[in-house]
């Protein structure tokens, strides 16, 4: 869950020339992380102000172990999800959509669960860790919209609220334990089973079919472009390792070190919105209409 760089950071550049050349040649697959969504007001886990410095996210084991863990998750997420739902794509998301439409990107894999790439109009995004706008039953596996659950939770918890002391990247709003204890859960409407957000928790495996789809995108690509990810967790790092092992260039644009730096051919340290809009200019790609 945590990772810290060791030794001296590898040299970085502030120029996007090599990234632009790779995109101009086409068949580049992008792997995006939380850093691309911070400009939309969604915090990250591992940046300078990342939430992992201050709290431990819900794990899959804790969620399935008992009702107390689930109550903690849903009470906090019931308030926090509204922040995610209100967030709008930023210049970086729109630039990725424009690069995809122009044929410079052959695919987009995101580690984010905020749905902002889809909201920006990027087609065929692989949401590696799922999406907060869906809910799944652990019993019958029925999938439903988060809006549907939100309405049911509001009905079961009239007037529920509290002082949010901190917002985390997955919509986890930190609340006092006295507030959490009063929250009422609701079951699946089909089988009365346990409801879980359709996202991959820490300690949970990404569905195999989704992983294989990502490997295919990497295998079919000429290069991999990492955007705003520290690559701390293996679920994303494995695709960078795979690309490097098969001789494909790896280009990383991120603020700060990443766990994949040693596999990269190019390391660029720039804010994502600035970098991606700059790439549109270099490649003479029209930005999306406002």
Active site members: 129
Q: Is 55 annotated for ligand binding?
A: no
Q: Which residues contact 278 (CB under 8 A, 6 or more apart)?
A: 16, 270
Q: Is 26 annotated for ligand binding?
A: no
Q: Is 191 annotated for ligand binding?
A: yes
Q: Is 214 annotated for ligand binding?
A: no
Strands of the sheet with 130-137, listed across from one edge:
143-145, 130-137, 195-199
Residue 109, beta-bridge partner list: 31, 126
Tokens of 249: 């260039």
How far apart are the C-alpha atoms of 208 and 211, rounded to whole Å?
Answer: 5
Q: Is 7 annotated for ligand binding?
A: no
Judge whether 35 and 110 are in contact, CB under 8 Å: no
Q: Is 72 annotated for ligand binding?
A: no
How far apart are the C-alpha atoms of 243 and 20, rounded to whole Å?
Answer: 19
Q: Is 123 annotated for ligand binding?
A: no
Task: Single out the residue of 145, 149, 131, 141 nearest to residue 187, CA to CA.
Answer: 149
Q: Is 112 annotated for ligand binding?
A: yes
Q: Is 157 annotated for ligand binding?
A: no
Q: Is 44 annotated for ligand binding?
A: yes
Q: Is 12 annotated for ligand binding?
A: no
Alpha helices, DSSP H, located in the chain: 17-25, 60-65, 67-86, 91-101, 116-119, 146-156, 177-181, 208-220, 234-245, 272-282
Q: Is 38 annotated for ligand binding?
A: yes
Q: Is 103 annotated for ligand binding?
A: no
Q: Is 228 annotated for ligand binding?
A: yes
Q: Is 106 annotated for ligand binding?
A: no
Tokens of 96: 């990725």
Q: Is 216 annotated for ligand binding?
A: no
Task: Single out the residue of 58, 50, 114 nearest to residue 81, CA to CA.
Answer: 114
DSSP string over 224-270: EEEES----SHHHHHHHHHHHHTT--EEEE-SS--TTGGG-SEEE-S
How far apart are the C-alpha atoms of 3 and 32, rounded to whole Å?
Answer: 18
Which residue numbers belong to the known binding site? Answer: 33-53, 111-114, 137, 140, 188, 191, 228-230, 254-256, 272
Known binding-site residues for NAD(+) equal 33-53, 111-114, 228-230, 254-256, 272
Query: Binding site for Zn(2+): which residues?
Result: 137, 140, 188, 191
């Amino acid at each position: 869950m945590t990772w810290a760089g060791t030794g001296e950071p590898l040299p970085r550049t502030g120029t996007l020339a090599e990234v632009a050349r790779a995109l101009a040649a086409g068949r580049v697959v992008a792997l995006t992380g939380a850093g691309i969504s911070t400009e939309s007001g969604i915090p990250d886990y591992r940046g300078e102000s990342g939430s992992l410095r201050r709290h431990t996210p819900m794990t899959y084991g804790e969620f399935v172990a008992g009702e107390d863990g689930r109550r903690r998750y849903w009470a906090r997420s019931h308030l926090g999800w509204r922040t995610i739902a209100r967030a709008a794509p930023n210049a970086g998301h729109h630039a990725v959509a424009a690069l995809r439409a122009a044929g410079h990107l052959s695919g987009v894999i995101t580690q984010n669960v905020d749905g902002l790439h889809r909201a920006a109009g990027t087609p065929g995004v692989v949401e590696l860790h799922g999406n907060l706008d869906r809910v799944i039953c652990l019993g019958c596996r029925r999938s439903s919209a988060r809006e549907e659950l939100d309405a049911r939770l509001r009905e079961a918890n009239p007037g529920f609220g509290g002082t949010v002391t901190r917002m985390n990247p997955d919509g986890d709003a930190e609340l006092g334990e006295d507030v959490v204890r009063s929250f009422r859960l609701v079951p699946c409407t089909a089988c009365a089973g346990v409801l879980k957000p359709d996202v991959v928790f820490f300690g949970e495996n990404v569905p195999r079919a989704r992983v294989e789809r990502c490997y295919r995108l990497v295998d079919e690509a000429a290069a991999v472009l990492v955007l705003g990810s520290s690559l701390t967790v293996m679920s994303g790092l494995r695709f960078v390792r795979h690309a490097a092992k098969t001789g494909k260039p790896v280009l990383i644009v991120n603020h700060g070190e990443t766990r994949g730096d040693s596999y990269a051919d190019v390391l660029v340290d720039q804010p994502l919105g600035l970098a991606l809009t700059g790439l549109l200019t270099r490649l003479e790609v029209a930005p999306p209409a406002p």
